Amino acid sequence: MEYSKRISENIKNGDTAGFSDIVREFSGKAFALTLRILGNKEDAEDSLQEAFMRLYRAIVSGQFEERSKLSTYFYTIVYNTAVDHYKKIKAKRFSIISIDVEGDNYEEGDDLNKSYSESHHSTGSSYSDKATRENEVSKIIGSYITSLPEQYSVILTMFYINDLSHEEISNILKLPIGTVKNRIFRAKSKLREIILKKYSEEEILQYV
């Protein structure tokens, strides 16, 4: 939170280099999320540019009040901006709620998510081993997420690529956290079906 407050104050005081640092830090992962929603590189680039402009105006005007992490605040802008573009381009409503689920109670995926969380955030391994493992898995998952329907790929991009927590995704999508967990589980199940056609269960199942 201190980092967010410091960098926003610097930008308010005219530090354009500070905002350039934000662009460099978030552009790659933010573009991945935008592309998942819009499905077109040119449209995604336009939408992301507007999202950065919205972020800049929010910081300068004081709309961003540092009550949330800068990354969460920005990904909310990225998502909403992309959805706005989608509505204009496709002339129909895009909704993450269209993910096919049978009820909103999160039960069957609890152990699986707990296993992933423990391995993903484990402190038992060295930082370098953990970073290497997560980087390899992230590349595998990132490449296969594109094979999923857009509603599944969007929520998994938030979870895996943008590294957002269930709570953060819940806030961005304005859905109950139980619904978010349920839908991530459903989306992960679809992703596993695709990945396990190429990789062994032992290689990948602990992560998805």
- Percentage, residues of the chain above pLDDT 90: 33
For domain 103-204, is the CATH number 1.10.10.10? yes
Residue 171: which pLDDT band, with cuts at 50, 70 and 90? very high
- Residue 132, pLDDT > 70, answer no
Token pair of 135 as six digits: 């980087």
Question: Comparing 2-90 with 103-204, is the CATH topology the same?
Answer: no
Average pLDDT score over residue span 38-65: 92
State the fold for domain 2-90: Rna Polymerase Sigma Factor; Chain: A (1.10.1740)
> Domain residues of the chain, as ranges?
2-90, 103-204
**Mean of all residue pLDDT scores within the chain:** 77
Q: Angle at the Cα of 160 (from 136 to 205), degrees rounded to 5?
A: 60
The Cα-based distances of 146 to 4, 107, 110, 120 in angstroms read 31, 27, 25, 22
59-115 pLDDT, tens digit per residue, is 888 888 767 788 999 999 999 999 999 888 765 545 554 544 444 444 434 433 443
Question: What is the per-residue pLDDT for 5?
Answer: 64
